[in-house]
Amino acid sequence: MAFRIAISTLLLAACAALQAEPQTMQLTVNKTGVLTHFISSDETAEVCSTFTVDAALAKAAIAGSELVSERVYAHDLDASNCSATGTLTWNRKTGTWTLDRTGRILIVWSDGTAEYRLCKSCQAPLFAE
């Protein structure tokens, strides 16, 4: 019985340590200033070329974003054809990310699941037209 209690205590301590461990993010930017043509808009390649995102900005946007539903992401939020893309490792998962000029973020994890996010602080003035 004492052995089971000791093992349980060790497991609980290990789980607590994992939860307390900072969630570091490794991120690369593959493309920035891309015109996607996914939605109807008057954005041009020239306009989108001014949407430049570096790794620090992308990390801050993703880390500071909040989860939204696919419905909200696709139908309720403002969207832009100007985007940046890259790869990331975060919360022990790897995947790709897309950030558009309105602060919408799509993360597609390596297992195929999608995560829809919104960076409210990215909407203005940083990402404003």
Per-residue pLDDT tens digits of the chain, which is 129 residues long: 443 343 333 333 433 444 444 568 999 999 999 998 877 778 889 989 998 999 999 999 999 999 999 999 999 988 888 999 999 999 899 999 999 999 999 999 999 999 999 998 876 444 544
Residue 6 lies in a domain: no
Q: Is residue 11 in some structural domain?
A: no
Nearest one of 88, 99, 112 to 26, comparing CA atoms: 88
Domain-embedded: residue 128: no
Average pLDDT taken over every residue of the chain: 81
What is the total count of domains within the chain? 1
Q: Answer yes or no: is 100 within a domain.
A: yes
Query: To the nearest 10°, the Cα dihedral for 26, 30, 36, 42?
Result: 90
Cα–Cα distances in angstroms (integers) from residue 65 to residues 5, 59, 99, in the given order: 40, 10, 11
Q: Is residue 39 part of a domain?
A: yes
2 domain-assigned: no
Query: Which helix (H) or strand (E) segment is 25 a member of?
Result: strand 25-35
95 found inside a domain = yes
Domain contains 13: no
* Host domain of residue 115: 23-122
